[in-house]
Structure 1
């Protein structure tokens, strides 16, 4: 098995890391899947770390039968993209989902079958600036992938290792891929969400015992759900606990979305834990509160309410 044609679906913060690395691989065809106005914009190139990269731009039909499809979408964009995924996937296509959360592979498998899907995750601190996307290649942990069961060094795992070699992309395969995916999920739920409500950099967990307690509460609930589902998080602790060093001012993706007035991926995080908790009979009050708070912040950004009172006469009753 040799990977010669790769399609990326989603050219944002995560997709930029894949495009940056695979653009070094001159012996493959690399393209992004897009249509309409988005396709026209991408044909002008992708600005990544101050450099313009020019992958091909394909419709789903032009991408049909690619050797590897890398899905890098935001959670809310996945349902609408299912038609593109179905069209692009051929008999010998491998699909890697680098989306956040723990259920994107399950959702994709429900559309195309489980066989093409290779469980995967990515750890990259990428952010958007006026001149495109930026990340530090040296401190980026990169892509982690693996089969859910033996044989772990399958033909497609070896083919992807060969593809990523000498690209600058950091990567490794693992025999504990589900534990690794849930370990990243834990980082997102416990570190990403509380700071989004507070509106402060990650240094808040170091400086505030109250923020730390909220983070710990979310962690306890997640670990209880994982245990009930048979996920051994300890199997990934040694490798997954090491992350890219970030400054105390760092603002993770949920807060970045709120800062920009976008909707977040809270349905993928606390929303998923609420659903799983209900199915398993496990109470998740910290996640319920967090879910509704971030949904309310989205509504505020949408202009659904604004009761700042700047132009209203304040009244009170005793």
Structure 2
């Protein structure tokens, strides 16, 4: 396949490198120091059991040089979606499959509003990967499978084709029974961990051990589950228990990505997370006081407002 990667951060570089190694023609849409690194030395992946590098790739900041591709992986942050719209339109032909990997439950809908909506899948990953320096990424622990699937019945063949390309490259990937449920399950976990830790300014250990902040985790999740149900997505009866079990299993010093972004003065994915819960809650008649508090507590620091 001819594959475009929009966003050459940790996820984009990791999956892109494996796709190159699997024999696909891959082009990264990147900029700045990352673009320079990809052009001069390619991508280096460091894992617990191996290290490998790929150089047989294309990297550019001009998507028009690439043209339509078979598959696009969108691996930017959620707040960058509007800014990458011109590149996506350049890469997307009538049969191009688009696989977004951002945090959030309405990413495909947002992308569909920015370009032709056909063949835009739902996608998510729990992959533990980080950027060491531009073009160099570190993947630790288990390579948890990427989850992807059609949001419309007509896109099942597109999902199957994307799955085949990923697996051909040795990427762990699965199509769950309902990608919407999978998206909301990840959202359930991400919203509460990002919000509670960012408001408290503390990692996962102290916030899950203190009774008051642990209660914030569960209250936040109850609101998300209620919003999901009102949209027609029914989560498992023990969804919140599953997520608290996952939270309790993390090393105590783990910090949610939003807390890390806050500490380093980077933009926050606040609108895609708590802003979405509040916005959908208002539209669907679901009260979301905990998520509204978290949003209000962080929005001035994030420079965001609910849209």
The normalised TM-score by structure 2 is: 0.86
Deviation for aligned residue 1:204? 2.3
Supply the distance in 1 between the matched residues of 2:211 and 2:123 (Cα, whole angstroms).
34
1:119 lines up with 2:122 in the alignment: yes
Q: Is the 8 A contact 1:22 1:164 kept in 2?
A: yes
Q: Choose the corresponding residue for 2:9, options 12, 17, 21.
A: 12
- Secondary structure of residue in 1 paired with 2:221: helix
Deviation for aligned residue 1:56? 1.2
Aligned to 1:225: 227
Q: 1:254 to 1:36 in 2, by over 3 A?
A: closer
Deviation for aligned residue 1:166? 4.9
Backbone CA RMSD of aligned residues: 2.6
- Secondary structure of residue in 2 paired with 1:69: strand
Aligned to 1:178: 180
Deviation for aligned residue 1:129? 3.4
Supply the distance in 1 between the matched residues of 2:193 and 2:208 (Cα, whole angstroms).
11
Q: Choose the corresponding residue for 1:147, options 147, 150, 159.
A: 150
Q: Is the 8 A contact 1:120 1:145 kept in 2?
A: yes
Structure 1 residues 101-144: Cα deviation after superposition (integer angstroms, max 9, x where no partner): 011110111122321201111111222335743222x5131310
Tell which deviates more after alignment, 140-149 or 103-112.
Answer: 140-149
| Structure with more strand by fraction | 2
Which entry has the higher C-alpha Rg, 1 or 2? 1
Q: 1:126 to 1:197 in 2, by over 3 A?
A: farther
1:276 lines up with 2:280 in the alignment: yes
Supply the distance in 1 between the matched residues of 2:193 and 2:129 (Cα, whole angstroms).
16
Deviation for aligned residue 1:298? 3.9
- Secondary structure of residue in 1 paired with 2:82: helix
Q: Choose the corresponding residue for 1:197, options 196, 199, 203.
A: 199
Q: 1:32 to 1:236 in 2, by over 3 A?
A: farther
Gaps of 5+ in 2: none
Aligned to 1:250: 254
| Structure with more helix by fraction | 2
Supply the distance in 2 between the matched residues of 1:255 and 1:127 (Cα, whole angstroms).
15
Structure 1 residues 140-159: Cα deviation after superposition (integer angstroms, max 9, x where no partner): 3131011235478x433332
Deviation for aligned residue 1:246? 3.4
Q: 1:31 to 1:243 in 2, by over 3 A?
A: farther
Q: Choose the corresponding residue for 1:90, options 85, 90, 93.
A: 93
Aligned to 2:159: 157
Runs of 4+, deviation exceeding 4 Å: 35-38, 149-152, 235-238, 240-245
Supply the distance in 1 between the matched residues of 2:237 and 2:89 (Cα, whole angstroms).
33
Q: Is the 8 A contact 2:21 2:54 kept in 1?
A: no
Gaps of 5+ in 1: 300-318
Aligned to 1:108: 111
Paired residues in the alignment total: 292
Q: 1:133 to 1:38 in 2, by over 3 A?
A: closer
Q: 1:71 to 1:140 in 2, by over 3 A?
A: same
Q: Choose the corresponding residue for 1:66, options 65, 69, 75.
A: 69
Deviation for aligned residue 1:25? 0.8
Q: Is the 8 A contact 1:149 1:175 kept in 2?
A: no
1:21 lines up with 2:24 in the alignment: no
Q: 1:218 to 1:83 in 2, by over 3 A?
A: same
Supply the distance in 1 between the matched residues of 2:160 and 2:222 (Cα, whole angstroms).
36
Supply the distance in 2 between the matched residues of 1:211 and 1:109 (Cα, whole angstroms).
37
Supply the distance in 1 between the matched residues of 2:151 and 2:237 (Cα, whole angstroms).
14
Deviation for aligned residue 1:80? 1.0
Q: Is the 8 A contact 1:142 1:171 kept in 2?
A: yes
Supply the distance in 2 between the matched residues of 1:12 and 1:125 (Cα, whole angstroms).
13
